[in-house]
Structure 1
Amino acid sequence: MKHDHQNAYLLLFRGTDWHRGLSIDEVRDVMSRWEAWYGGVVEAGNMIAASPLENEGKLVSGKNKEVADGPFAESKETVGGFFMVNAASMEEAVELAKACPALPYGLTVEVRPAADVCPSSRVASAAHGTT
């Protein structure tokens, strides 16, 4: 999907157990508010892509390309899903993130700007005098 990287921000939802300790009615209420929040972002034309993530996966690492079951982060740090949104600025993207209904229950939202070029590639290009 094509989009303007200058206005694209990734909202990473961290925490896969925010709902623990809540009653089923409380979880339903939060999820209902989440769906309304998501729908509002879509309706406003700010949504580029979004998806929840399963709790299990694989971790590929190292020179030998070792594969292990993952993720290994603590459940409060595990990425549970994402929104890729269009926003005029980091501040606007942060305001979208602040509306997340699960924040009061321990979920966190990391907001990161999308890059036109991989930052490592910029370092390599600068070292070789190219841009």
Structure 2
Amino acid sequence: MEKYMFIFLGGDVSHLSPEAQQAHMEKWFAWVQKLQDQKRYVSGEALTPEGKTIAGPKKTVTDGPFAESKEVVGGYFVVLAKDMSEAQQIAMEYPDFVYDGVIEIRPVIKFDM
């Protein structure tokens, strides 16, 4: 099995009532539980929308990302899959697709040290 990172973008649920947000979170919890039961879930975290960006050779620090951006990374998982095709199948259960969420799937590189 190889490691793949799922990077979650968008999927804004802030317009939902607190009850609807909680119901949606239950879908996330169920998905994580399923991946854990299948021994595919390695790790994951949700991220707050605020932060800082450091860029360029001068290491310029700016505010951002900004919550109103559809490109905001909301969190990530690291999962185990035999190949990219299987990682894509696992990602199809992403609960935020219904709210225009996007998953970027990236293989994790193993470095021999």
TM-score tier by shorter-chain length is 0.7 to 0.9
User: Which residue of 2 is the match for residue 58 of structure 1?
Assistant: 52
Structure 2: runs of 5+ lacking an equivalent: none
More helix by share: 1
Report the counterpart of residue 3 of structure 2 in structure 1.
Answer: 8
Distance 2:91 2:82 in 1: 14
Instruction: Indicate how the Cα distance of structure 1 residues 115 and 48 shifts in structure 2: closer, same or farther if over 3 A, else same.
Output: same
SS at match of 1:102: helix
Give % identity: 36
If asked which structure has higher relative contact order (CA below 8 Å, sep 6+), I would say 2
The structure number with the bigger radius of gyration is 1
2: CA distance, partners of 1:13 / 1:69: 20
What amino acid is the match of 1:53? L
TM-score by length of 2: 0.87
Structure 1 stretches of 5 or more lacking a match?
1-5, 118-131
Q: Which amino acid aligns with 1:29?
A: A
CA-based RMSD of the aligned residues comes to 1.8
Aligned length: 111
Which residue of structure 2 aligns with residue 82 of structure 1? 76
Alignment of 1:1-131 (within 5 A): 7-15=2-10, 18-71=12-65, 75-117=69-111
CA distance in 2, matches of 1:18, 1:56: 14
| Contact 2:49 2:66 (C-alpha < 8 Å) held by counterparts | no
> Structure 1 length as normaliser, TM-score?
0.76
Q: Which amino acid aligns with 1:10?
A: M
After superposition, the C-alpha distances for 1:10-68 in whole angstroms (9 at most, x for unaligned) are: 100001x6213323322211110110101111121111110001111111111111111
Alpha-carbon displacement from aligned partner over 1:44-99 (angstroms, at most 9, x marks no partner):
11111100011111111111111111115862111110001110111111111110
